[in-house]
Structure 1
Amino acid sequence: MNSPLNLGDLITRACNREPESIAIEADDCVISRADLFEQAQIVKAILLAAGASASEPVHVRVSNLPSDFSAVLGIWLAGCVAVPIHRTTPLSACEAIRKKTNARFQLDITDSSAAGESLLTSLCADAPAFRSQLDGAAFVLFTSGSTGSPKGVIIGHHAFAMKLMAIDAMTHFKPRERTLLVLNITFVFGIWMSLLTLISGGTLVITKKLGSAELVDRLQEHPIDRVGVVPTMLRGILALVTQGHDMKPCACLRQIFTGGEQLSELLADQVEAAFPNADLINIYGLTETLSCDFFQLSNFRRIKPFALGLPASGVSYRIVDELDLPVKPGQQGELQIRSPYLMAGYLDDLDLTVAAHSDGFFKTGDLAFINSEGDVQFRGRQKEIIVRGGNKVTPMEIEQAVIMFPGITTAMATGIEDDMLGEKIHVLIVPSIPSSVDFERLQDFLMGKLEKYKVPDVFYTAECLPLGRTGKADRRELKMMIAGGLLIPAAIKQIGRTVA
């Protein structure tokens, strides 16, 4: 049997193969692979001198600095487990994570040339007890649960390394290619893009936080081969086009990865028109499944725009009802995923880990169905279902109908409590031109697209969708904005007509 793969070993080999090649390029420095490995060795020595033990969780503060990568690599070389926490995370959230991990050490390296014990902070005096579930773990990534309590997702070295190989088989990262890192490396999307770039011999290009205009300028003025963004960022770029921003060709850009939200057909077409030389690759996956379970490649999407795409090698799936029994084609149910690349479990929470699985499949909590062509179509989150007058409605179905109306860029639907109906359907729309929506015409249009009970009850308008902490459009934020009176209805449906 082959030995388990280790991400630290894979990066070390890449460093040894071409030590003088550029691993990371930042605004104010360039880090060779030799530099990256040397700095990681310093981190390793500091941890071992402090008494860090094998498989011990170590907090590491990150914000996409070059030194963040040497810190993570150093943690792995010391045999420890990296727990990345963004430098802007509030103290209360940091403490909640510390209570979950029982970590005694925290690394925070803001100057890549710094060295010494001052890089390491003591969080508590006692070493955490050995946890067998952390044996062979690379990361503990914290995600918010439906209750708001953070869940620690344990990601193993071997599983993640194998998933990177499966991703590369679909996307073909090459040596010397340059990946512009926009996504945070506290999230699995940003992490896998960074690791795969470094392991394949490419260069990570990192810069200060980019707005839409700065991102476009960077892509146009520097040799960048690929970038990963969430759809919100893509919408921001396209807004520049409507405002007359000069969209010069990005000759080097060959791949745009996006994920984390549903990618509409309209948005995909607009992005491809703005970046004709690049392949737009939409991915589906969760932190617990190590991301990238389905790939909607450009050629696939042009033929089947509503399908999730092709599953990664080794990934299988099923769609089941509330009893975990398979549903018939065309029938909606929960999408569940089985692969060799699943998480090792939730940290110190066996009950939650067991509840998240069924017969070896991970329960995604996402709704989907198999269409007439045998492809998976995504319908949104189970917990986001709107129950209006006893009828179950998925927000995505409403959103897809709304954005078909001329003059609407994007939309977000949610259910808001109502004494009579249980919930009413509220929709926030982003018009291409402010104050340009004829709501009576919109309602008539939707009556021809949706069953009557699915036609929204209340409309709002805004310049953009509300965002969560990951930079993705966030339905919970919309609910809070409506509940807090931060949005004023632009139109309310009444019997037979819509009042604006």
Structure 2
Amino acid sequence: MEISEMNLFGREHIKVFKNRPKAITEILSDGVQQFGEKVAVATEEHELTYKELDDLSSIAAANLQQAGIEKGDRVAAVIGNRHEFPIMVFACSKIGAIMVPINVKLAMEEIEYILGHSKPKVIIVEQEFTKKVRQAAEASGSLEAGSRLFEIEGENTFSSLLEQNAELTEAAISEEDGAFILYTSGTTGRPKGAVLSHINVIHSVMNYKYVFQTDDTMKTLIAVPMFHVTGLVGQLLHVLYVGGTVYSMKRYQNEAYIERILKDQINFLFNVPTIFIMMSTSEKFQNHSFDFVKKVAFGGSPIYQQTFNMLKQAFPNAQLHNAYGSTETTSPATLMPVSYPEAKVTSVGRPVAVADIKIMDSEGNECEPGESGELYIKGPMVVKEYWDNPEANLSSFTDGYWHSGDLGIMDDEGYIYIRDRKKDMINRAGEKIFSIEVEDVLKSHPDVVEAAVIGIPDPVFGEKVKAFVVGPSLDPDDFSMLKEHCRKSLAKFKVPEEFEIIESLPRNASGKILKNTLKQVGGEKNA
């Protein structure tokens, strides 16, 4: 694994893997060469070998060219976890088009903004979402501007793109060319379109391979959406890069997910911790052996010690890897190595080999080991820019480092611990409270399944701590008991002053807790 340096996106001294594929298309062409007739993708309804995926994506690419799509044009896709999704990933890559995967759960107005902002020439939509997407396309002016809409299983059908009636001219791809625009969740303000380049994606799949030590025996099951960076890069493209098989489900359902793992002997799992917690409540999960699982990865929210212990017991032969990253880092910025001390299980691991991460205080000074500050991240996996957003580009990058907005520490062995989102830190009369610290303590109580902590307005202290807790056996009479539990581990000013029982925590498509939604609820009740 040789590493060299290059200038990338105008940024100097970027560490890169010396021997690397130059474009996403090489992931598939190499796979065809080595594993042609092996199943590459298996959805709930279709199976595609590496060769079939290559052939179909070439046909779709040629027909997109016939429809007027050129290098750099955007192709929007409102598609769930179906076989058409990976076909479009490689079809767009072959002609240099930029794929814009759109969250199928978004409301019409949200899709309208993304279409209006990214200006796609083609929109591909799954039939059940056609009505809201057509409305969004009309409202954004996309159709009037000449965008063509192809509906999967509808009238102007996607199948027409899979008919052999055009000759493909593959585009000359530069590593810095955009491959995807992924719109961030937009928990505050308008979502930003992160431009993932070919070199970003290539380094991310290589980072996963080298740290997780994955190979062509890997079988993963994607239950998170493929339009999210973990499903797209951490699973789909990563597993195809190593020559494995990607299984997928349209929607996560606990029992069905467990059954699929058992049926197909899935040996590489990658989920937010919540899914693993849900799995552990199932009798089917408790009564079966999962000793065939080799790799278990988790990220997107904190891992608690008791969740880690459960994973260790449930998957006795698996390597457990915490992962930290974002859309802007094309998935991983830090990964847990294959072996690590038990004392570091709540760490998100070390920076990947090509990453440069520093912890910065509020004055712009680099922190010493153990001091808390914001993570600044640099490397070939960090996106070049936000699409058509000069203001965000100016405020989000300094000397090639992306400002993560996450607060954390790095210990003297290089392990990183995420303490909080910068915007989620609670300020009570000048005392800084990390919500994750309080959540960790609440989660250690046997009756609490999940917890989320926010700051709500207080006329005296500015903010006070409120906890939302999930637990089937909890009722308001237990709040004093939970307070007492917190007092054993936390300073008095960190103990929640208010509690609220909630059936489930609100999450975005990537599984991250929507604290803004909780703040609205908390604020309304406090008004």
Contact 2:175 2:199 in 1 (8 A): no
Aligned length: 472
Question: What code does the residue aligned with 2:365 have?
Answer: L
**Local SS of the residue matching 2:520:** helix
Summarize the alignment of residues 32-71 of structure 1 with structure 2, pairs less than 5 Å apart: 32-71=49-88
Asked if residue 271 in structure 1 is aligned to residue 311 in structure 2, the reply is yes
Q: Which deviates more from structure 2 when the two are superposed, residues 8-17 or residues 295-304?
A: 295-304
Q: Distance in 1 between matches of 2:352 and 2:524?
A: 42
Asked if residue 292 in structure 1 is aligned to residue 336 in structure 2, the reply is no
Q: 1:115 aligned to 135, 159, 172, which one?
A: 159
Q: Distance in 1 between matches of 2:162 and 2:523?
A: 46
Asked if residue 221 in structure 1 is aligned to residue 263 in structure 2, the reply is yes
| Alignment CA distance shift 1:90-1:311 (3 Å) | same
Quote the residue 2:25 is aligned against.
8
Q: 2:242 aligned to 200, 220, 227, which one?
A: 200
| Alignment CA distance shift 1:251-1:3 (3 Å) | closer
Asked if residue 165 in structure 1 is aligned to residue 206 in structure 2, the reply is yes
Deviations 1:393-441 (A, max 9, x none): 1111111222233433332100112222222210012336334974334
Q: Distance in 1 between matches of 2:106 and 2:481?
A: 45
Asked if residue 232 in structure 1 is aligned to residue 249 in structure 2, the reply is no
**Local SS of the residue matching 2:282:** helix
Q: Distance in 2 between matches of 1:412 and 1:89?
A: 23
Contact 1:55 1:135 in 2 (8 A): no
Q: Distance in 1 between matches of 2:23 and 2:438?
A: 45
Q: Distance in 1 between matches of 2:412 and 2:50?
A: 49
Quote the residue 2:196 is aligned against.
155
Point out where structure 2 has 5 or more consecutive residues left out of the alignment. Answer: 1-17, 126-150, 164-172
Summarize the alignment of residues 474-489 of structure 1 with structure 2, pairs less than 5 Å apart: 474-485=514-525
Asked if residue 302 in structure 1 is aligned to residue 342 in structure 2, the reply is yes
Contact 1:379 1:397 in 2 (8 A): yes
Contact 1:134 1:154 in 2 (8 A): no
Q: 2:111 aligned to 94, 107, 122, which one?
A: 94
Q: Distance in 2 between matches of 1:32 and 1:118?
A: 16
| Alignment CA distance shift 1:476-1:423 (3 Å) | same
Deviations 1:126-148 (A, max 9, x none): xxxxxx99961111110134532
| Alignment CA distance shift 1:386-1:4 (3 Å) | same
Point out where structure 1 has 5 or more consecutive residues left out of the alignment. Answer: 120-131, 488-500
Summarize the alignment of residues 173-184 of structure 1 with structure 2, pairs less than 5 Å apart: 173-184=214-225
| Alignment CA distance shift 1:364-1:319 (3 Å) | same
Question: What code does the residue aligned with 1:152 have?
Answer: G
Contact 1:155 1:344 in 2 (8 A): yes
Asked if residue 325 in structure 1 is aligned to residue 342 in structure 2, the reply is no
Quote the residue 1:185 is aligned against.
226
Question: What code does the residue aligned with 1:116 have?
Answer: S
Asked if residue 81 in structure 1 is aligned to residue 83 in structure 2, the reply is no
How far has the Cα of 1:20 moved from its partner?
A: 1.4
Deviations 1:71-126 (A, max 9, x none): 1211111221111113443322222111211222223463699632699xxxxxxx
Q: Distance in 1 between matches of 2:65 and 2:74?
A: 13
Asked if residue 375 in structure 1 is aligned to residue 415 in structure 2, the reply is yes
Question: What code does the residue aligned with 1:182 have?
Answer: A
**Local SS of the residue matching 2:72:** coil
Task: Tell me the TM-score normalized by structure 1.
Answer: 0.87
Contact 2:72 2:96 in 1 (8 A): yes
Q: Distance in 1 between matches of 2:21 and 2:358?
A: 28
Task: Tell me the TM-score normalized by structure 2.
Answer: 0.83
| Alignment CA distance shift 1:174-1:328 (3 Å) | closer
Summarize the alignment of residues 423-434 of structure 1 with structure 2, pairs less than 5 Å apart: 423-431=463-471, 433-434=473-474
Contact 1:279 1:297 in 2 (8 A): no
Q: Distance in 2 between matches of 1:95 and 1:25?
A: 31
Aligned CA RMSD, in angstroms, stands at 2.7
Deviations 1:208-232 (A, max 9, x none): 4231222122222322111221111
**Local SS of the residue matching 2:281:** helix
How far has the Cα of 1:321 moved from its partner?
A: 1.1
| Alignment CA distance shift 1:177-1:298 (3 Å) | closer
Quote the residue 2:11 is aligned against.
none
User: Matched residues, percent identical?
Assistant: 25
How far has the Cα of 1:370 moved from its partner?
A: 3.1
| Alignment CA distance shift 1:224-1:4 (3 Å) | closer
**Local SS of the residue matching 2:70:** coil
Q: Distance in 2 between matches of 1:185 and 1:54?
A: 23
Q: Distance in 1 between matches of 2:279 and 2:20?
A: 45
Q: Distance in 1 between matches of 2:341 and 2:195?
A: 32
Q: Distance in 2 between matches of 1:364 and 1:483?
A: 26
Q: Distance in 2 between matches of 1:179 and 1:344?
A: 29
Q: Distance in 2 between matches of 1:442 and 1:339?
A: 43
**Local SS of the residue matching 2:203:** helix
Question: What code does the residue aligned with 1:115 have?
Answer: S
| Alignment CA distance shift 1:350-1:265 (3 Å) | same
